[in-house]
Amino acid sequence: MPVAVVNVAPGTELDLAGLQEFLSGRIASYKVPKDLTVIEALPRNAGGKILKGKLRELVTEGVR
């Protein structure tokens, strides 16, 4: 199941319906996220790469 984990700019809002509407027609329907997790900052390592394992943990724990 596709899940979007995003960091939004301060003062902006993003909801699942808006994201799905934006992506509809731009990407394949099976790739459109069914869930949305908004976080303050993406977890990164010392080299600046995103820690995908940590993101998976956040999603499975249900941290919002």
Tens digit of each residue's pLDDT (9 = 90 or more) over 1-43: 789 999 999 999 999 999 999 999 999 999 999 999 888 899 9
Per the CB < 8 A criterion, the answer to whether 5 and 55 are in contact is yes
Domains annotated on the chain, with CATH: 3-61 (3.30.300.30)
Q: How far apart are CA 59 and CA 4, in angstroms?
A: 9
Per the CB < 8 A criterion, the answer to whether 4 and 35 are in contact is yes
pLDDT at site 21:
95
Instruction: Go through 21-58 and write b for each residue having 16 or more CB atoms within 10 A of its CB, e for each that does not.
Output: eebeeeeeeeebbeebbeeeeeeeeeeeeeeeeebeeb
pLDDT at site 43:
94
The strand pairing partners of 3, in sequence order, are 35
pLDDT at site 25:
93
